[in-house]
Amino acid sequence: MNGLRLIEEIKADNVASVKELIESGGDVNWQDEQGWTPLNWAAGKGNLEVVKLLVSRGADVFKVGRDQRTPYLIALAAGHVEVVKFLRQAEDEAGGEKPARPERKYCKAYSLRDFRQFPNWVEGKINWKDEPPQPSENGERKAQPLMDVEIAFLHQDYTVTQSMWHGENVIFNQVTAEWKEFCAVALKFKAPDDLDLIVARQQS
């Protein structure tokens, strides 16, 4: 039961005992009743020294328990920046087939006036869920034009929608290098990565 003892020593922050157990052949991929390995627990505790030691001894960086979270995701949820950085690099450098990291949805609101400054801006209606068009003076019904002051949403894939939901009521989807540069320079748009979100959470 060296694996169980290894987990208990990690939970107790007994680094010296952890090192001894690993050196004596403790099972670095042993899973407890909830499926967590020593690396899962070390990631949650935020002990970078132990995390590095476990990975160097063959701990599986993609192993998940019942909660389906990798050590990386556990460290991310706990806000351990240095452990997150190390495990992200360890995942990137791991050989073989890798599970995809969950895609984080992100969008930011701007007025249409801001988007219309782009020289190649062309509006369309894709997957559009219209409200009933308003009647005109002669009784005919026609869709109302979008006004400069209306709010639209720029998403992490650089598409623009009227709805805050990605892929719904799309106004613009002609994503080019020029459009990305415009978003970065003129709109100061940058979808945050996991580390940005940790820092923001810690500063709030």
Task: Tell me the pLDDT band of 176, cut-offs 50, 70 and 90.
Answer: very high
Same domain, 116 and 192: yes
Classified as helix, coil or strand, 85 is: helix
How many domains are there within the chain?
2
pLDDT of residue 46: 94
Same domain, 117 and 86: no
Residue 155: give the domain boundaries. Answer: 107-129+145-199
Question: How confident is the model over 17-45, as pLDDT tens digits?
Answer: 999 999 888 899 999 999 999 999 999 99
Task: Tell me the pLDDT band of 102, cut-offs 50, 70 and 90.
Answer: confident
CATH number at residue 40: 1.25.40.20
State how far the Cα of 198 lies from the Cα of 138, in Å rounded to an integer.
56
- Residues in Cβ contact with 94 at an 8 Å cutoff, skipping those fewer than 6 apart: 61, 62
Question: How confident is the model over 63-91, as pLDDT tens digits?
Answer: 999 999 999 999 988 889 899 999 999 99
CA distances from 160 to 145, 156, 180 (A): 16, 10, 12
Same domain, 25 and 67: yes
